[in-house]
Amino acid sequence: MDAATPAAETLLDLHRSGRLAARYPEVRALLDGLDDAELVRAGRLLARLDVDEVRAAHPDVPTVAVTVTGHGTLAPLLPALTAELARHGLLLHARLAPFDSYVFDLADPDSELYRAEPDLVLCVLDPMVVFDEVPVPWRPADVARVLAEKVDLVERLAATFRATARGTLVLNTLPLLRRHTAQLVDLASRAELGALWREANARLLRLSAANPSLVVVDLDPLLAEGSPACDPRLTVYAKAHLAEPLLAGYAREVGHLARNLAGQTKKCLALDLDGTVWGGILGDDGIDGIEVAESYRGEAHRAFQRVAKQLGAQGVLLTVVSKNEAAAVAQALREHPDMTLREDDFVRVVANWAPKHDNLTELAGSLNLHPDSFVFVDDSPFECGLIRHALPGTAVVQVDAEPALHLVKLLRDGWFTTRQLTAEDRDRAAGYRDDLARQDFRQSFTSLADYLAELAVEVELGEAGPEQVPRVSQLSLRTNQFNPTTRRLQPQDVSELLDDPYARVLTVRSRDRFGENGLVGALFLRRDGDLVQIENFLLSCRVFSRGIEQACLAAVLRHARAGGASAVLASYRPTAKNRVVADLWPRHGFAPAGEDGDAIRFRHDLHDIPAVPEHIRLTDRIGVDAA
């Protein structure tokens, strides 16, 4: 057995001394860098923790409630799942359903699964869900019949879940094992079985397109990387039909989803240059000497650049944080004939000799982001260690001298995984570049008022429709700063609010002289007699400090008064990241109205309603009954 790393030894010591719950926030850093085997061992220790004890000691640690159900024995999944969530600073509150109870669990709206109201339900499917019901002897047609019945059943269960639960149901594709294909002696029948099996998996994968409560994890990419699908002994003796390494890979994918549900999806990729984006040292080798193509190592760096460019095209903000001369970097990105990443692919290029953690902090500020929103990639152990120490919330991907593995290490943890890509995602980089142009524009004015007047801000406030559900949900999951309650809403939650006669979901769109900002905010209102409750107000960090929040609140308060309301209520739940809205309600005429648990309540009696700022042109499309 390999010797344990110092981090693993520290974790074991905390467990043995009974201090693991008290020191839980340190676990995230301790798990960083552990190999797969050590991670599972750490998960076994963490799975023994009393969740309530950890939550009492650290109420700010996000807890994700997960119920695991399925066909076979699934207890081996829990340690890996516990460790994967802990790696992202999350606490797993797990419930393991009884063996082979998934049909009862999901079909009965009054089952214990639904009463527990989990955030995630993992319905883990395996090949034996089909082959346990195939007759002997069998032909591909027999498998096709059972497969069709099972996919039909799963589709009905998913529909029941959507109608009953508020969380997310996770299914998975079914591995096709050689132990089954090899039972057919003719190659034609094996080909037929392979085709119908893949068609059934394709049906499973397509279920999520019409069901916003559903996610389907494709196991084929995990199997393609070498994870064994099953252990023949365990599948016979323990009814554990999926091998532990495959379950560990599955748990990693679920960890990415859980991070997204908790509002911790990363937004920005900060890249080192020398040894990372290209080979060689720009200052020593010159533009002609760096490796970006036409050599073995150069091709590896080009492959990494292509991956970064692909991520950038889907809303990930690409930036550079490099110790280099700025002019030389700009020239390399503009003029090197084989460069895949160009200057225009980055929202900001920072090249100087200042400490990288200072540069990254300043970069985050210029983009109105928290350093926790960044993934930092560098080949220097020193720089990576410095970022881990100075900015512990920043994800660090340490690459090494083998550039062919750079893209593997970057993609391993799904840092930018989201439920659904929106039009705003694809336009995000251009929007941030416009924001930086706005900042430069701001520097030409001596007063903020003059700047805002010339910025020509236009705001449109309207009621959300079904087509806005993915974007509104995404805002609630990704917005941490301008988010007074930090309530996270899945697409199904937003859809239910649209169908609720007492609720209103309002969308905020904005534009200015630099162009469209798109759908940048949402307000969630609820009418209760003569009171209107603002359940939450979200605003993208891209449009801070322009008076947009005042314009929107002025409209909401005005509509509430016109609709006969006596007051509008709101609340603020303090977190480490939403201090920017600590004074949101008092600043707009709301008075403190007591506390409700960890939230501070506020009330506006609708006497002195703030005016829409003079520099904003507001288009009000919410209707007289919107409040």
* CATH of span 268-411: 3.40.50.1000
What 8-state DSSP symbol labels residue 279? Answer: B
pLDDT tens, position by position, 225-260? 888 999 999 999 999 999 999 999 999 999 999 998
Domain parsing of the chain, residue ranges: 1-60, 62-261, 268-411, 444-621
| Amino acid residing at 386 | L
Q: Which residue has the tokens 């955030």?
A: 119
- pLDDT at 268 (0 to 100): 96
Residue spans of beta strands (DSSP E) within 438-530: 457-463, 503-512, 515-528
pLDDT the model gives residue 625: 44
* CA-based nearest residue to 80, from 254, 329, 203, 261: 254
CATH number of 444-621: 3.40.630.30
Equal fold, 62-261 vs 268-411: yes
Q: Which residue has the tokens 């998996």?
A: 201
Strand partners for 270? 319, 376
Starting at the edge strand found earlier in the chain, the sheet holding 457-463 runs: 591-596, 599-604, 567-572, 531-539, 515-528, 503-512, 457-463, 616-621
Q: What is the mean pLDDT of each run of 10 residues along the chain (627 residues)?
A: 74 91 92 85 92 92 95 94 94 95 96 95 97 96 97 96 92 96 96 97 94 93 92 92 95 94 91 96 92 92 97 94 95 95 94 95 90 96 93 94 96 90 78 74 77 87 92 89 89 91 94 86 94 94 84 94 94 89 93 90 93 91 59
Rg (CA), the chain: 26
Domain 62-261 has CATH 3.40.50.1110: yes
Largest CA distance in the chain: 85
User: Which of 119, 122, 128, 379 minimizes the C-alpha distance to 274?
Assistant: 379
Closest CA to 552 of 518, 521, 531, 591: 521
Q: Which of 459, 447, 472 is nearest to 554 (CA)?
A: 459
Instruction: Kindly list the distances between the CA atom of residue 445 and the CA atoms of 48, 441, 457, 547, in Å, as whole numbers in the listed order.
Output: 59, 8, 16, 17
Look up tokens 């050590």; give the residue: 38
